[in-house]
Structure 1
């Protein structure tokens, strides 16, 4: 049974209840002062608390999508994926479609009515990074009258550790985009949804690590090239945007600032503004001070040429730790007189899915208004 299986959660809750009842029932028998009785009390308490914490942990993981599997949780998932060649028609494609599904909340099974979510494997041809992803194709993509139409693209990134599946099932990006397009608030847009951690379990912070994963290049170049080779999308940066939450928000902003020739707009939901160094990241810069400075968006806005791009950042006055830094970032962008900046500031909201779901509809509407289609 997988980490995210409902059966695992139900079993954990069941054992927690059983152990709680057993502890209450057996406590009088364990009330003596002998070493066996004391050991029994300690064992029962520890077992009960362990199962309770396990239940809460499993429930939280299902709600927020931190880890996708046991190997992901234990840090034993180290492979970057294997590219499998299939038919001759698809052998040279940098994107392999693994499976397809309908958009949640849409009853029709017809792609031209319901759109489609494709589970794919993406290969970066210059970085040799292989990353799993989900691609949402709007209904218009399959309609005969749009055969020659090229669609705008929004790259959607999770936080760390995060799972791409959570962008579909928990944050509801495809269904939100479809509803916005249906109501005329957003143009039909292809969503490419994946995690920024392309070399799990390491958190590379979308940095080109010296001698390691070239994550920034993957998102700035390889991902775009792969999507353009497989789907009907426009090549110009005016048709490309990028959005993410937490670590994904930092990555989205940084990639747009560093590569305005790749993305016309970026959204950071609860982002931070410089790459941290901690046990999950390892040594990202290998003593390269210039690389470390570039990963600091405040430094980049002050010392690098101001990019022709549009940025949206979000925070909360109460509940978010990035509020003061977000106000500082807005001021830094304004001082460039070139880069454009907008914001969503909630009265209160934590660093969690519930807060981001309140921001995503407005953020997608803003992002769509900055992109063009042909």
Structure 2
């Protein structure tokens, strides 16, 4: 049972109710002398508290997306990934269809030499009669830290949120691509470092794999990104670094746009991978960026969006910002930004077509 699944939360709630009911029924029915009855009652109280705390912790985790899986919670995911840096090359990667409609694969990128998971979801129009030659725009979803591709499915309500917007005519029917943003378990803010080329993984390996296996529009015209938190930082910087791959990026509550010293300790490397530095040194290019946050988010303050907008002046980069009056650094807030972000991406990327 998945850590973030509704079934697990419901099971915990039911278990808590049963433990409390058992304590009420058995409180005065425990046989034996007092030295036996009182420890048993203390144990029942402890069990009630433990199950209640588990329910609250699971609800908070689901709301904030702190841990996306049991491996993530127990700290075993990074170990597995770091020891499994080998995987099939793109030509031998196989996508497996899941019950939720996503296709999943694990492969080794030829450019980065990194291996990781990639989820792909195609809209209903992709498989509609007569659409066999139609190519579709792509939005790559970038999760936060900690997190995994499944975070978007289990906590971020994707692709359901996109489907609802498409039905309302508020967004295009995108192909969604959800890769790991720190394959091997090391966060580099989606940057190439001497030991780990995560930018190459996201901007070369993953697009090449997806374009080979799905009917996607050509890069960069038909490719965009949307990210949250650390993924929002990446969705801001990657179009600036790879304008020949991504035409647009939407960042929801992005991490500090100057970079994080705890992630990249080398000041020069950190600066040259920061969106603020990149946009100041970008001249021309057909790139659009959407940045959103809330006035209450201390991790992604509105002031940094204002500073980024000033830095982008004269760069030729199209910048749109959104500051919501309230909301925390969590998927509940980010889901409220989906209509604006996906609607904006729909103005930047073309509709499905023949790809010419």
Distance 1:187 1:261 in 2: 21
Q: Deviations over 1:137-178 (max 9, x none)?
A: 112211232222221111011111123223124323322322
Residue 191 of structure 2 aligns with which residue? 207
For residues 183 and 122 of structure 1, do their structure 2 counterparts lie closer, same or farther at Cα, with a shift above 3 Å needed?
A: farther
* Alignment check: 8 A CA contact 2:4 2:154 kept: no
TM-superposed deviation, 1:326 = 1.4
Distance 2:271 2:192 in 1: 13
* Alignment check: 8 A CA contact 1:270 1:320 kept: no
For residues 42 and 143 of structure 1, do their structure 2 counterparts lie closer, same or farther at Cα, with a shift above 3 Å needed?
A: closer
Q: Deviations over 1:112-155 (max 9, x none)?
A: xxxx4323334322212222232111122112322222211110
Structure 1 residues without counterparts, runs of 5 or longer = 27-38, 86-90, 103-115
* Alignment check: 8 A CA contact 1:160 1:195 kept: no
Runs of 4+ in 1 over 6 A off after TM superposition: 14-23, 39-48, 82-85
TM-superposed deviation, 1:50 = 5.4
For residues 225 and 13 of structure 1, do their structure 2 counterparts lie closer, same or farther at Cα, with a shift above 3 Å needed?
A: same
Give SS of 1:96's match: coil
For residues 320 and 230 of structure 1, do their structure 2 counterparts lie closer, same or farther at Cα, with a shift above 3 Å needed?
A: same
* Alignment check: 8 A CA contact 1:151 1:234 kept: yes
Structure 2 residues without counterparts, runs of 5 or longer = 28-38
Q: TM-score, normalized by length of structure 1?
A: 0.78
Distance 2:247 2:151 in 1: 25
Residue 32 of structure 1 aligns with which residue? none
Give SS of 1:131's match: strand
1:327 to 306, 326, 346: 306
Give SS of 2:234's match: helix
Which structure's relative contact order is higher, taking Cα pairs within 8 Å and 6+ residues apart? 2
For residues 62 and 350 of structure 1, do their structure 2 counterparts lie closer, same or farther at Cα, with a shift above 3 Å needed?
A: closer
Residue 124 of structure 2 aligns with which residue? 139
**Aligned pair 1:99/2:82, yes or no?**
no
Give SS of 1:173's match: coil
1:236-275 matches, within 5 Å, as: 236-272=219-255, 273-275=257-259
For residues 123 and 234 of structure 1, do their structure 2 counterparts lie closer, same or farther at Cα, with a shift above 3 Å needed?
A: farther
Residue 291 of structure 1 aligns with which residue? 269
Give SS of 2:293's match: strand
Residue 212 of structure 2 aligns with which residue? 229
For residues 214 and 100 of structure 1, do their structure 2 counterparts lie closer, same or farther at Cα, with a shift above 3 Å needed?
A: same
For residues 330 and 97 of structure 1, do their structure 2 counterparts lie closer, same or farther at Cα, with a shift above 3 Å needed?
A: same
Distance 1:140 1:43 in 2: 56
* Alignment check: 8 A CA contact 1:65 1:163 kept: no
* Alignment check: 8 A CA contact 1:95 1:227 kept: no
TM-superposed deviation, 1:229 = 1.0
* Alignment check: 8 A CA contact 1:320 1:349 kept: no
1:177-192 matches, within 5 Å, as: 177-192=162-177
1:194 to 168, 176, 179: 179
**Aligned pair 1:72/2:72, yes or no?**
yes
TM-superposed deviation, 1:8 = 5.7
* Alignment check: 8 A CA contact 1:306 1:339 kept: yes
For residues 59 and 195 of structure 1, do their structure 2 counterparts lie closer, same or farther at Cα, with a shift above 3 Å needed?
A: farther
Residue 34 of structure 1 aligns with which residue? none
For residues 235 and 5 of structure 1, do their structure 2 counterparts lie closer, same or farther at Cα, with a shift above 3 Å needed?
A: closer
* Alignment check: 8 A CA contact 2:63 2:155 kept: yes
Give the alignment's Cα RMSD to 1 decimal. Answer: 3.4
* Alignment check: 8 A CA contact 1:135 1:191 kept: yes
Distance 1:149 1:44 in 2: 62
Give SS of 1:210's match: coil
Residue 63 of structure 1 aligns with which residue? 63
* Alignment check: 8 A CA contact 1:3 1:69 kept: yes
* Alignment check: 8 A CA contact 1:64 1:166 kept: no
